[in-house]
Homo-oligomer: A and B are copies of this chain.
Amino acid sequence: MTNPSQTVRELIRKHYAALTQSERKFAQALLENYPAAGLASITIVAANAEVSTPTVARMVQKLGFKGYPQFHQALLKELEAKGSGPTQRRAKWASEAPESHLLNRFAQTVTRNIEQTFANIDTESFDGAVRQLADTDGQLYVVGGRITRSLADYAFTHFQAVRPRVTYMTASSATWPHYVLDMTEGDTLLLFDVRRYEANLERLAELAAGRGVRVILITDQWASPITQVAQFSFNCWVEAPSAWDSNIATMMLLEALIAATQEVCWPETRDRYDRLDALFDMTRLFR
């Protein structure tokens, strides 16, 4: 039958590939509220996950249980085991992992970064930057440094979907003058610069600002010197239990900016998304 040493969570992971769509729906619901979402009667549990009773019944059998009651019992055993443990563990990140596992140390540090970063955002600046990013009269240029190049790329991919007139400036600084040539007042430059701050980026920001371009800077907690020419700048905490810096908070701020911009541009963006979808459907034919 079922190896009793495996948790239901592990079983779900193991069999996830074999689950159908609505079975997954239930699996998700359970994982999101674990294990409470699996401890009521099958009827109730199914209704909460918005699937039918038979779906749940079939799924628990796939997981290796003889029937729902057995599944219920397994969950209960886990709960019991957890309760009788040493002390109730406070943070339940990677619950199965020991406290000192890198996963837990990492999660802890990054959470702090995120808290710090968001606590230090000036909401007015944020809204101001968003207005600027949503201004489709001007061109939006995006650029990053050695490490943040990927973030700039991510920003580009999304902003391109949200609004027209977005340009990604390649990482190779040799080509930047070409872009500057076309920058005019009212344009926007979204710029990433974390330590080690790059002199090239600073020169670029100065040139752009000199031409009347609004610079939005995303930097780390120590602030790139570009802050001085930027109209809006945001500091992201990058502490990490490793030799390099974590850019989670940075990326989170970026996503927040994208989400907010999308909200401002909405009617237009919706149309763009629809058209984009249609285009992807067409390329699907190639497979």
**Contact residues of A with B, CB < 8 Å?**
9-10, 13, 16-17, 24, 28, 31-34, 36-37, 39-40, 72-73, 76, 79-80, 83-84, 86, 91-97, 101-103, 106-107, 110-111, 114-116, 118-123, 126, 146-147, 149-151, 153-154, 157-158, 161, 196, 199-200, 203, 221-223, 225, 227-228, 235, 240-244, 246-248, 251-252, 255-256, 258-260, 262-263, 269-270, 273, 280, 284, 287
Q: Inside 8 A of A9's CB, which chain B residues have their CB?
A: 120
Identify which of B17, B86, B93, B97 contacts A228 (C-beta below 8 A). B17
Whole-angstrom distance between the alpha carbons of A95 and B252 in the complex? 17
**Distance between A125 CB and nearest chain B CB, rounded to angstroms:** 8
Q: Are the C-beta atoms of A259 and B106 separated by less than 8 Å?
A: yes
List the B side residues contacting A110 at CB < 8 Å: 114, 252, 255
- The oligomer's copy count stands at 2
In the complex with contacts A83-B34, A284-B199, A94-B73 CB distance below 8 A: no
**A76–B72 CA distance with the chains assembled, in angstroms:** 13
Cα(A39)–Cα(B16), bound, Å: 27
Which residue of B39, B84, B107, B256 contacts A39 across the interface (Cβ within 8 Å)?
Answer: B39
Q: Which residues does chain B contribute within 8 Å of A243, judged by CB atoms?
A: 262, 269-270, 273
Given A157-B150, A241-B259, A122 and B13 contact (CB-CB distance below 8 Å): yes
A203 → chain B, closest Cβ, in Å?
A: 8
A76, B36: Cβ atoms closer than 8 Å = yes
Cβ of A218 to closest chain B Cβ, rounded Å: 14
A247 to B242, CA, bound (A): 21
Residue contact A122 to B10, C-beta cutoff 8 Å: yes
Q: Which residues of B contact A120 (CB under 8 A)?
A: 9, 13, 31
Residues on the B chain within 8 Å of A73, using CB? 40
7 pairs from A and B in contact (CB 8 Å cutoff): A16-B227, A40-B76, A93-B119, A96-B122, A103-B256, A150-B150, A242-B262
With CB as the reference atom, state the residue of chain B lying closest to A10.
B122
Residues from chain B with Cβ under 8 Å of A28 in the complex? 221
